[in-house]
Amino acid sequence: MIVLRDEVRQLEGLRGELHKVFPAYITHIRFPRYKNMAPGARIDLDFPVTALVGANGSGKTSVLNALYGAPMRQSTGEFWFSTKVDPIEEGEGSPNRFIYGHYNSGHKQIVETRKARVRKFRNGRDDPNYWEPTKEAPGDDMIVPTIPAGKAIHGRSKDRWNPVNRPVLYINFRKELSAFDKYFYFGKDPAAGSGAADTAKQKDGKATSSRRILTKMDQVRRDAGLLAKVIAANDTSETYRNRKIATENRLLTAEELKIVSFILGRDYAEARWIRHRLFKGDGGVSIIFKTEHGRYSEAFAGSGEVAVTSCVLQIMRAKKGTLVLLDEPEVSLHPGAQERLLAFLAQTARRMQIQVVFSTHSPHFIAALPDEAIKSFFQMPDGSFSVIAATHPYAAFRRLGATGGGEVLVIVEDRLAQGVVGQAISMIVDEAARKVFRVEFVSGGAASILNIRIPVFMDQADEMLVLLDGDQRKVDKVQDPDEIPVSKNGTLEKTIVDQVGATPSFLIDGGTGGGNAKQKIRARRKYLSWVCNNLDYIPTSCPEELVLRAANNMLEADAGNAQQCKARLQALASETLVREASSEETDNFGELLLGLNKANSPELVELASKLTSFLARIKP
């Protein structure tokens, strides 16, 4: 029903216009001094749906708390406050604070609002956890605007920019419990501590209690009878001890039910939402689901069903322009449901102009997002946490501790090419991104890869890059088969030979004329499409030339001549060993020589750029 990649693609089309499309859009947030964040840490919210990824305790929830307190009449103090056990320490004249950006239409540019923790006397008592907007602080790299005297700008108050005025919806999925779960697993036992309050009686020589409710099961049975009356009434009219049992009692609308069914992968015929005061007065939400197989309450539903239903209803009731903050939405959801929930969030972000920021430990919740939407938290040497501005999902997987999946396989012609690519990978700044790549060489060289391997690769995975030696390149860019008209199908074989240098072997059904013609056409187009996206070349004629150039040991007469470069490197290896070097010894010598001189190799930098560019193009 909702295609995640399509929704992401449409949101990506709004690049550079987010602050104009989304009301009161928060463009970035930075932390001069705030909890365990590194001083100066900054998060740019470059995409309407942003994922905060990192280990436990790395500051993700702290950032959500700050964003919660960013808009007008909102306070971070609702989540972070000082106690005797966990006192909040303030620096000398340097309070805990955060600064966030937003677009001011009157000023026609991005401005910044600073919110700081201050002591305030409110409601007749001292409040040490009050957060309020404060004037610009040049010491926090804030720009004090020059505004002509007498000119008023909407959103400006004397020496500061006012907070954005927008609704906030904060959902912590660890707390999205049904009334049953909240009482049965976390509520107080009815019989606990009753002791002498029970009137003891003797029956058949055994002590019994006059109390009718001794266990949680007793309480649930009793309250289930009251809940059944509420369900039958189909409204909130039922009372118990002169008090309404339910404050909300309705069926989900067709659209709400459709979305819940989509996310959970179930076919619900009906779902009733009831908010009540049952279960020892703790109350909460009960949901009665109905499928073709029967009816059941939240007591028998999965916790994910309750959490998703609650989330969907809250978001669909949200106003246009709401800032939606979600803390670990993957809780109790299987991978498919996680991806479909993200699809719903992306679609709702676009349709209702809401901005979504969520924390997660789940690779499935970030797989389809663009790199700039994934903010990875990492620990600094001093123990504080900072944030990487953009992270590929595969690299984020590594930071989350995932060891399987999320891998790019690089295929090369020989052992030295494997070593050269490995050195290029070592130059990638992001350690987690480096771990994404695995390099292998295959026997048979370029001919085997082009003619035999690629026809197999193209039916397996897109997360594979073939890097051939530069002397194998025939054209600057292989023609995209989508640009070749159907009338030119007869030229496909020649195009592959001329532009790729290959005569690939395809598994084609037999028949007259040497095989099924339609299958051949489809296979050739698929081959061209795959090599357009997954085939590249090292920047020199061969890996030996790249090594020689890095070591400044290249003879200009040998430039671009793979055979001469191979002979030159073997001669140098033999000279070092004082005997003729074998092929394997020459490869090892070349890799060592490159490792010692890689800082002097622009070709190696170019190769590292090819790898990171390929990684940026693919998504799980």
Domains of the chain as residue ranges with CATH: 4-82+90-173+314-395 (3.40.50.300), 179-300 (no CATH), 407-620 (no CATH)
Pairwise pLDDT comparison (31 vs 462), residue with the higher score = 31
Report the helix count and the strand count for the chain, using DSSP H and E.
19, 23
Please check whether residue 268 is in contact with residue 259, taking contact to mean a CB–CB distance below 8 angstroms. no
pLDDT, greater one: 348 or 192: 348
Average pLDDT over residues 519-524: 92
Task: Label residue 326 by pLDDT band (50, 70, 90).
Answer: very high
Mean pLDDT confidence for 523-537 = 95
Nearest to 307 by CA among 200, 196, 182, 415: 182
Q: Is residue 437 classed as helix, strand or coil in its secondary structure?
A: strand
- Distance, in Å, from the CA atom of 269 to the CA atom of 292, rounded to the nearest integer, reads 7
Q: How far apart are CA 299 and CA 184, in angstroms?
A: 9
pLDDT at 197: 42
Mean pLDDT of 21-49: 95
pLDDT at residue 549 tops 80: yes
- Asked if pLDDT for residue 287 goes beyond 60, the answer is yes
Query: Is the model's pLDDT at 455 over the cut of 70?
Result: yes
> What are the angstrom distances between the C-alpha of 358 and each of 170, 348, 353?
10, 14, 16
Q: Are 523 and 506 spatial neighbours (Cβ–Cβ below 8 Å)? A: yes
Coil, strand or helix at 611: helix
- Of 268, 257, 275, residue with least CA distance to 294: 268
Which residues lie closer than 8 Å to 259 by C-beta, 6 or more apart? 312, 316, 344
**How far is Cα 544 from Cα 530, in angstroms, rounded to an integer?**
27
Q: For 122-166, what is each residue's pLDDT tens digit?
A: 677 777 778 999 999 999 999 988 888 878 899 999 889 999 999
459, 527 Cβ separation under 8 angstroms: no
**Which candidate, 277, 306, 297, 303, places its Cα nearest to that of 185?**
303
Among 240-254, 504-518, 534-548, where is mean pLDDT lowest? 504-518
406 phi/psi in degrees, rounded to 5: 60, 50
Distance CA 173, CA 434 (A): 33
Q: Which of 353, 281, 284, 292 has its CA nearest to residue 319?
A: 353
- The residues, ordered by sequence, that sit 6+ positions from 351 with a Cβ below 8 Å of its Cβ are none
Instruction: Take residue 64 and report the two structure tokens written for it.
Output: 């959500």
> 3-state class of 242 per DSSP?
coil
Judged by DSSP in three states, 564 sits in: helix
pLDDT of res. 1: 80
Mean pLDDT, the chain, integer: 89
